[in-house]
Amino acid sequence: MRAASRSAAAPSAARSLSALAQAAPRPSLKAQAQAAAPLAVQSRGMKTLDFAGSKEVVYERADWPLEKLQDYFKNDTFALLGYGSQGHGQGLNLRDNGLNVIVGVRKDGHSWKEAVADGWVPGKNLFTVEEAAEKGTILMNLLSDAAQSEQWSNLKKYCTKGKTLYFSHGFSVVYKEQTGVIPPTDIDVILCAPKGSGRTVRTQFLAGTGINSSVAVHQDVSGKAMEKTVAMGIAVGSGYIYETTFEKEVYSDLYGERGCLMGGIQGMFKAQYDVLRENGHSPSEAFNETCEEALMSLYPLVGEHGMDYMYKACSTTARRGALDWAPEFEKANKPVFERLYKSVRDGTETKRTLDFASRKTYREDYEKETDAIAAQEMWRAGHVVRGLRPGRGGKDI
Ligand SMILES: NC(=O)C1=CN([C@@H]2O[C@H](COP(=O)(O)OP(=O)(O)OC[C@H]3O[C@@H](n4cnc5c(N)ncnc54)[C@H](OP(=O)(O)O)[C@@H]3O)[C@@H](O)[C@H]2O)C=CC1
Ligand SMILES: CC[C@](O)(C(C)=O)C(=O)O
Ligand SMILES: [Mg+2]
Ligand SMILES: [Mg+2]
C-alpha cells in the first residue's frame, strides 16, 4: 500500500544525468565544447563523470528502481532517531518507498508532536529514541548534532554487531574528541548527507525529482557498506549521489552553510540594503533591488543554466558593471572565507555548536535570534513584497 503511493508521487523513471545535461540550453561556445566531450563511462550502476577536468564517481536513482530497493532492504528496520528537518524528509520518503521505518524521539516533545501530525503512530512506528534504537537494524542518527553527542552514552549499547550506524553529517564522528562519538568497530558506519534542507528532500521527492546527496563510509565491516550507503541515499530521496569522506563532508558543509548558503547571503543582502537605505531609497526599492529580484528572477537562472547565462540574460550595462565588480567582491570576501574555513577545521565552530545547541532552551534561544532577523526592516519589507506576488491576495505565506 505504501509502495503504491510512492509510484504515484515520484515516478522512478528519473532523468539521467546526461539527459539533464542535454536538456539545459547552453548557448555559449564553451558550453557546446563541454557538451561534445565524452561525459560518462558506466559500470555496474556507477558512473565516472568529468567535473570540469576532475573525474568523479556518481550514482543515479535510475540504477535503484523501487522493487530493487524494497528487495535489498526487505529484512531491515530503519530506526530514524530524531525528527527535525531531515527526519521529516528522509522518514516520509522511506515510508512512501514502502520500506520498514520507525521513528524514535523524546516522548511528548516538539518532534513527537510533529511526527504524530505526519501520521506516525505511537507504539506502532513511533517510539522513544532508546526503543527505536533497540528495534532498528539500521540506526539513522538524525538527532541534532549536539544531541548525538549528548545521547551517545545511551545509544551506543544498541550499536550491536550486524547493525548499521547511519549519519547525515560527518560531525559526530570527525570531531570525536569533542563529541565523544566513537562507534564500536564491528558495525558498518555510513553517511548520506542530502545537500539541501530536509524540507526540499521531501518536496523534491514528491515532485519526482530528488535532492543531490554525498555519501561516505567510515567503517566497512560487511564488505558491502558503500553499496548499502548508495541504496540508502536513493531510498531517502536522492536523485544523484557523489562520493566524499566523513571529513570532507563536515568541513565543506559547516563552511558552506556559514558562507554563501546562509550566513554570507544574509550578510551580503543586509549590507547592500542598508547602503541603499542610508542613501534615501525606500524599503520597497531597497528590498526589490537586493533580494526580490535576486531570488525570483536572477538566481533561478543561475541555478538552471549557470552564471554566464544569467549575465547574458541581463543588459550590457549590467554585464559591464557586474564583470568589473565581481573581482572586487571576491577580493574582499576571500579573507573572510579563509578565516571561516580555519575556524571549521580547528573545531571552533563545532565547540560553538555543541555549547549552544545542547542548552535545554535551544529551540527558544534559536527562535529569538531568527525572530530578530525577521524583525529587521529588510525582511519586514520582504514580508509585504512577498504578499504582493500575484496569486497571493496580498498575504505572505
Ligand atoms: N536540516 C537539514 O536540512 C540538514 C541536516 N543535516 C544533518 O542531519 C542531522 C539532523 O539535523 P536536523 O534534521 O536539522 O535536526 P535538528 O538539528 O533540528 O535536530 C532536531 C532533532 O534533535 C532532537 N533533539 C535535540 N536535542 C535533543 C536532546 N537533548 N535529546 C534528544 N533529542 C534531542 C529534537 O527533538 P525534540 O523536538 O524533542 O527537541 C529533534 O528531533 C544533523 O546531523 C544535521 O547536521 C544534514 C543535511 C541537511
Ligand atoms: C545549508 C544548511 C545545511 O547544511 C543543509 C540544509 O544542507 C544544514 O545543516 O541544515
Ligand atoms: Mg549542515
Ligand atoms: Mg548541508
**pLDDT one-digit tens code per residue, 250-279:** 999 999 999 999 999 999 999 999 999 999
130 is in an annotated binding site: no
Q: What's the one-letter identity of residue 40?
A: A
Could you give the number of structural domains in the chain?
Answer: 2
For residue 334, give the 3-state DSSP assignment.
helix
Nearest-CA residue for ligand 1 atom 29 is 147
177 is in an annotated binding site: no
Q: What is the mean pLDDT of residues 335-350?
A: 98
Ligand 2 pocket residue status of 257, Cβ below 6 Å = yes
Bridge partners of residue 59, in order along the sequence: 46, 241
Q: What is the mean pLDDT of residues 291-309?
A: 98
210 with 342, same domain: the answer is no
Q: What is the mean pLDDT of residues 73-80?
A: 98
* pLDDT one-digit tens code per residue, 134-176: 999 999 999 999 999 999 999 999 999 999 999 999 999 999 9
Ligand 2 pocket residue status of 145, Cβ below 6 Å = no
278 with 225, same domain: the answer is no
Q: Residue 392: pLDDT band by 50, 70, 90 thresholds?
A: confident
pLDDT of 1 > 90? The answer is no
Q: 30 lies in a domain?
A: no
Q: What is the mean pLDDT of residues 97-105?
A: 98
Q: How far apart are alpha carbons 332 and 21 in whole angstroms?
A: 33
Nearest-CA residue for ligand 2 atom 6 is 197
* pLDDT one-digit tens code per residue, 109-127: 999 999 999 999 999 999 9
What is the average pLDDT value for the chain, to the nearest integer? Answer: 90
Ligand 2 pocket residue status of 197, Cβ below 6 Å = yes
ipTM of predicted complex: 0.99
In angstroms, the Cα distances linking 262 to 2, 75, 266, 355 are: 35, 40, 6, 20
Instruction: Output the CA 141–ligand 1 centroid distance in Å.
Output: 9
Q: What is the mean pLDDT of residues 327-333?
A: 98
CA 109 distance to own-chain centroid: 24
Angle made by CA atoms 340, 140, 362, in degrees to the nearest 5? 50
148 with 187, same domain: the answer is yes
Q: What is the pLDDT of residue 45?
A: 53
Nearest-CA residue for ligand 2 atom 10 is 197
263 with 236, same domain: the answer is no
Q: How far apart are alpha carbons 17 and 23 in whole angstroms?
A: 10
Boundary (domain end) residue, out of 221, 244, 267? 244
CATH of the domain at 93: 3.40.50.720
229 with 309, same domain: the answer is no
Q: What is the pLDDT of residue 6?
A: 33
170 with 93, same domain: the answer is yes
Q: How far apart are alpha carbons 305 and 295 in whole angstroms?
A: 15
Q: Print the domain residue range for 140.
A: 56-244
Q: What is the pLDDT of residue 205?
A: 97
CA-based max dimension of the chain: 67
pLDDT of 81 > 60? The answer is yes
Q: Are 2 and 95 in contact (CB under 8 A)?
A: yes
For residue 55, give the 3-state DSSP assignment.
strand
Which residue among 255, 261, 349, 353 has the greatest number of ligand 2 atoms within 8 angstroms of its CB, and so is best to mutate?
261
Buried b (16+ CB within 10 A) or exposed e, 10-32: bebebbbbeeebeeeebeeeebe
Q: 41 lies in a domain?
A: no
Q: What is the pLDDT of residue 394?
A: 83
Contacts of 146 (CB under 8 A, 6+ apart): 353, 354, 356, 357, 358, 362
Q: What is the mean pLDDT of residues 320-328?
A: 98
236 with 332, same domain: the answer is no
Instruction: Output the CA 261–ligand 2 centroid distance in Å.
Output: 8
Q: Residue 393: pLDDT band by 50, 70, 90 thresholds?
A: confident
| 188 backbone dihedrals φ, ψ, rounded to 5° | -70, 135
Proportion of the chain in helix, strand, coil states, percent, rounded to 5: 55, 15, 30
Q: Of ligand 1's atoms, which has the minimum distance to the CA of residue 83? A: 41
CA 108 distance to own-chain centroid: 27
Q: What is the mean pLDDT of residues 323-351?
A: 98
In this structure, the residues whose C-beta lies within 6 A of any atom of ligand 1 are: 82-87, 105-106, 109-111, 142-145, 147, 150-151, 168-169, 171, 193-194, 197-198
Active-site positions? 169
Dihedral class, residue 240 (left if φ above 0, else alpha if ψ from -120 to 50, else beta): beta
CA 247, 249, 254, 258 torsion-angle sign: positive
163 with 90, same domain: the answer is yes
Contacts of 67 (CB under 8 A, 6+ apart): none
